[in-house]
């Protein structure tokens, strides 16, 4: 069983990880899904609680703390097999730790996400998960503010951000923004990967 390592603090609230992915391949796979039109914001699960994917899986018992994702098992959605490259991105992290929620996040052109915090998404939180973000489309036309400073995310990059801190999004582009987000247990491998990136060791 993979469990969280003891919480740690990073000096920076945003860290660009030394791994990148082919944004064009990801975008082509998303386009092939022929997703429905949407307004403002849409979240498309690619990996979710097992009982939501497979109705034969019993509903998990009540949990005292849902933050670390251990309250249930997690499964890939059936159509993830139609996204072989995106699957390979997710599988990279599955090789090193337990991956919980995976989503495609769509944000409408011109939309604004008001400032908020995600109280359990930080390495410094006891028994929590962290979220890595891989932008697929949007680039310079999407301003992601963390602690009132823009995180200069570009398509294909992979970022750890301390989302327990205040953040907001201002999308000034003409087309929807798409991000891949991957929630995972911050075991020792994950922690060291992020710390080494922060120190420029990778």
Across the range 81-85, mean pLDDT stands at 96
Per the CB < 8 A criterion, the answer to whether 93 and 19 are in contact is no
pLDDT of residue 202: 54
For residue 27, tell me if it sits in a domain.
yes
Least Cα distance to 171 among 113, 105, 103 occurs for: 113
Least Cα distance to 27 among 156, 142, 151 occurs for: 156
Give the domain extent around 103.
Answer: 14-56+66-199
pLDDT of residue 201: 65
For residue 44, tell me if it sits in a domain.
yes
For residue 1, tell me if it sits in a domain.
no
Across the range 70-79, mean pLDDT stands at 90
Across the range 19-33, mean pLDDT stands at 97
Please state, in angstroms and rounded to a whole number, the distance separating the CA atoms of residues 46 and 160. Answer: 19
Please report, for residues 28, 30, 40, 174, 189, the alpha-carbon distance to residue 76 in angstroms, rounded to integers and kept in the order given.
20, 16, 25, 31, 22
Residue 58, pLDDT above cutoff 70: yes
For residue 178, tell me if it sits in a domain.
yes
For residue 22, tell me if it sits in a domain.
yes
65 band by pLDDT with thresholds 50, 70 and 90:
confident
CATH code for the domain in which residue 195 is found: 2.60.120.330
Please state, in angstroms and rounded to a whole number, the distance separating the CA atoms of residues 37 and 42. Answer: 10
For residue 194, tell me if it sits in a domain.
yes
For residue 4, tell me if it sits in a domain.
no
pLDDT of residue 198: 96
62 band by pLDDT with thresholds 50, 70 and 90:
confident
Please state, in angstroms and rounded to a whole number, the distance separating the CA atoms of residues 196 and 202. Answer: 6
For residue 3, tell me if it sits in a domain.
no
For the segment 162-187, what is each residue's pLDDT rounded down to a tens digit? 999 999 999 998 999 999 999 999 99
For the segment 113-149, what is each residue's pLDDT rounded down to a tens digit? 999 999 999 999 998 999 999 999 987 889 999 999 9
pLDDT of residue 69: 81
pLDDT of residue 138: 84
Per the CB < 8 A criterion, the answer to whether 67 and 120 are in contact is yes
Residue 109, pLDDT above cutoff 60: yes
Q: State the total domains in the chain.
A: 1
pLDDT-wise least confident of 29-33, 60-64, 193-197: 60-64
């Amino acid at each position: 069983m993979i469990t969280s390592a003891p919480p740690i603090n990073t000096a920076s609230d945003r860290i660009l990880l030394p791994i990148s992915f082919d944004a064009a391949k990801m975008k082509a796979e998303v386009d092939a899904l022929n997703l429905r039109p949407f307004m403002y914001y849409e979240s498309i699960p690619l990996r979710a609680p097992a009982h939501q994917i497979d109705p034969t899986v019993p509903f998990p018992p009540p949990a005292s703390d849902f933050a670390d994702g251990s309250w249930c098992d997690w499964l890939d959605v059936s159509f993830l097999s139609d996204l072989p490259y995106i699957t390979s991105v997710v599988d990279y992290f599955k090789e090193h730790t337990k991956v919980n929620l995976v989503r495609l996040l769509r944000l409408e052109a011109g939309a604004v996400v008001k400032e908020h915090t995600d109280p359990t998404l930080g390495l410094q939180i006891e028994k929590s998960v962290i979220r890595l973000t891989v932008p697929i489309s949007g680039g310079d036309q999407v301003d992601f503010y963390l602690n009132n400073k823009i995180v200069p995310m570009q398509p294909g990059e992979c970022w750890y951000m301390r989302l327990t801190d205040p953040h907001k999004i201002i999308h000034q582009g003409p087309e929807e923004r798409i991000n891949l987000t991957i929630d995972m247990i911050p075991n020792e491998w994950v922690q060291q990967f992020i710390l080494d990136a922060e120190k420029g060791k990778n």
